[in-house]
């Protein structure tokens, strides 16, 4: 991975979460395409070549541990500004106190929230609305392996999927664990036990996502890819 900005020559320092998101984006790039990110120092655009596919991978590689979540209880990010220019969020979740908490957190960061209680209802909603964020409770359809809606999201064309921040919430998820998000074709995973901090999690994760992928989405929009 690139270590210095080609424009200002300053060293690029990425957090583990940012590195995981960059690798996720590189994995999804079509052959011959490049990923564009912004230099945190001079704000210049930096293009990164896609990852080469190899037949074998090292057998001794170990996945990184889930992130430390101690900062959730400190109030850090709680006073951050609302997310800007994010119009609508779809929440696919059965009626419950947990759903109410998710909806309130979404509203607190600036989303307009639409609720669906079945996969078919959610899919119909998405036919007519370009949602910027979609949240699925993994237990709604008896787990991801049985989820019609999750399968729908996984098979969605990248022309549309790249503009959706897809969140999975469930008892088995490990909050902010990007490797798990990558393996489940999501942008963010959140454990049910951390839902009381969901607004804080959104304030941290959404700006990071937009900072990393905003430039390439802007370029695609400029070329009429949206």
User: What does DSSP say about strands 165-170 and 188-191: parallel, antiparallel, or unpaired?
Assistant: parallel
Question: Do 98 and 23 share a structural domain?
Answer: no
Question: Do 111 and 165 share a structural domain?
Answer: yes
Considering the entire predicted model, what is its pTM?
0.63
Q: Which residue did the predictor score with more confidence, 151 or 61?
A: 151
Total domains, the chain: 2
- Is residue 224 included in any domain, yes or no? no
Question: Do 88 and 44 share a structural domain?
Answer: no
- Is residue 17 included in any domain, yes or no? yes
Q: What is the pLDDT of residues 49-106, one digit of tens each?
A: 765 443 344 445 566 677 766 656 665 555 444 444 446 999 999 999 999 999 999 9
- Is residue 72 included in any domain, yes or no? no
Question: Do 190 and 96 share a structural domain?
Answer: yes
Question: Do 41 and 88 share a structural domain?
Answer: no
CATH number (domain holding residue 183): 3.40.50.2300
Q: What is the pLDDT of residues 172-218, one digit of tens each?
A: 999 999 899 999 999 999 999 999 999 999 998 888 877 766 555 55
Closest CA to 83 of 224, 214, 220, 216: 214
Question: Do 144 and 43 share a structural domain?
Answer: no
End position of a domain, from candidates 52, 70, 95 = 52
Closest CA to 194 of 66, 89, 92: 66
Residue 48 has pLDDT above 90, yes or no: no
Question: Do 156 and 94 share a structural domain?
Answer: yes
Average pLDDT score, the chain: 80
Question: Do 129 and 197 share a structural domain?
Answer: yes
Residue 164 has pLDDT above 50, yes or no: yes
Backbone angles phi, psi at 16, to 5 degrees: -60, -40
- In which domain, by residue range, is 23 found? 1-52
- Is residue 77 included in any domain, yes or no? no
- Is residue 68 included in any domain, yes or no? no
- Is residue 212 included in any domain, yes or no? no
- Is residue 217 included in any domain, yes or no? no
Question: Do 133 and 29 share a structural domain?
Answer: no
Q: How many CB atoms lie within 10 A of CB 2?
A: 14
Angle at 123 between CA 119 and CA 125, to 5 degrees: 115
Cα–Cα dist 226/215, whole Å? 14
Cα–Cα dist 9/115, whole Å? 47
- Is residue 221 included in any domain, yes or no? no
């Amino acid at each position: 991975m690139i270590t210095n900005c080609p424009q200002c020559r300053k060293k690029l320092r990425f957090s583990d979460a940012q590195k995981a998101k960059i690798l996720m984006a590189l994995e999804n790039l079509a052959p011959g395409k490049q990923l564009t990110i912004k230099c945190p120092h001079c704000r210049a655009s930096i293009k990164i070549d896609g990852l080469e596919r190899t037949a074998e991978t090292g057998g001794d590689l170990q996945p990184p541990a889930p992130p430390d979540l101690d900062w959730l209880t400190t109030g850090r990010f709680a006073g951050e500004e609302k997310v800007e220019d994010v119009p609508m969020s779809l929440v696919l979740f059965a009626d419950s106190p947990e759903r109410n908490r998710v909806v309130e957190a979404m509203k607190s960061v600036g989303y307009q929230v639409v609720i669906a209680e079945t996969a078919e209802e959610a899919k119909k909603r998405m036919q007519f609305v370009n949602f910027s964020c979609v949240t699925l409770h993994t237990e709604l359809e008896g787990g991801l392996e049985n989820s019609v809606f999750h399968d729908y999201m996984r098979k969605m064309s990248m022309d549309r999927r790249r503009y959706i921040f897809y969140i999975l919430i469930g008892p088995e998820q490990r909050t902010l664990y990007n490797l798990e998000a990558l393996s489940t074709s999501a942008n963010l995973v959140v454990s049910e036990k951390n839902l009381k901090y969901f607004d804080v999690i959104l304030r941290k994760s959404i700006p990071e996502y937009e900072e990393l992928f905003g430039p390439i989405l802007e370029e695609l929009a400029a070329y009429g890819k949206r």
